[in-house]
Amino acid sequence: MAPIDGADVHTLMGAYALDALDDDERGAFERHLGECEPCREEVAGLRRTAVRLADVAAEATPPRLRRQVLQQIAVTHQVRNAPGTPQREAAASTPGRSRGWLAAAAVLAVICAGLGGLAWSQYRAAEDARSTSQAITRILADPDARTVTRSLPGGGNARVVVADGRAVLAGDALPALPDDRTYQLWTIRGPQITSAGLGPSGTDAGGSWSRLVDGVRPGDVVAVSVEPSGGSKQPTTTPVVTLAV
């Protein structure tokens, strides 16, 4: 193995954190780690990130991803070691990384395309949910917030809490719905009716739930109607409740 100079050794940081180096490279990088505190801190951070992403993406691998990996393996040339030849020298047909490493990189790219996108989308969904939860908490805790409550036939009720142009619509003991129906929220401003997002659907609609409603002005009406799963562009049924802000 050719010596690794001071500039190139830093390029091994990500591969080392993922345990993707051969023995020679790992030994050289670990000797460097003994002398470089910034690299030790960076590697620790990369490993923590890898663990978090693995947790987020912990789902069964879709069948199409397995097919893509097998297809990529089938068309990627693999170089085998000659007997008695050191692995790195036998595999290297061009300077730098061997074809075997290129094959592994190609397969890894396919895997990352499937799992990386999944991990990122799940991470963003979790972040969005946390941000919404924090916004709802702030509105409900605002001492200047204004609350409007409406009782419903059957004992349920709905209330809207408004503060600083945002509102929380909270439903309590609203009727459950068929699996193909969902509650949908609307803001009504004069003749204009705008969707404010979806509430729960199916049996989940019968519990207590809350949703954030943005862009609410004095004089608006917040309404809830029953719509087909996935929602509608405009209400298709009479609202089960309307609350004047």
Measured from the Cβ of residue 216, the count of other Cβ atoms closer than 10 Å reads 22
The domain locations on the chain are 6-132, 146-244
Query: DSSP class of residue 81?
Result: P
Cβ contact 227:236 at 8 Å: yes
Cα separation, 2 vs 148, whole angstroms: 74
pLDDT in tens, 119-141: 556 656 667 777 888 888 888 88
pLDDT, mean over the chain = 75
CATH top-level class of 146-244:
mainly beta
Encoding tokens for residue 125? 């969904």
SS3 assignment, position 155: coil
CB atoms within 10 A of CB 5: 7
pTM, 2 dp: 0.52
113 against 97, higher pLDDT: 113
Task: Give the confidence band of 43 by pLDDT, cuts at 50, 70, 90.
Answer: confident
Rounded CA-CA distance 235/233 in Å is: 7
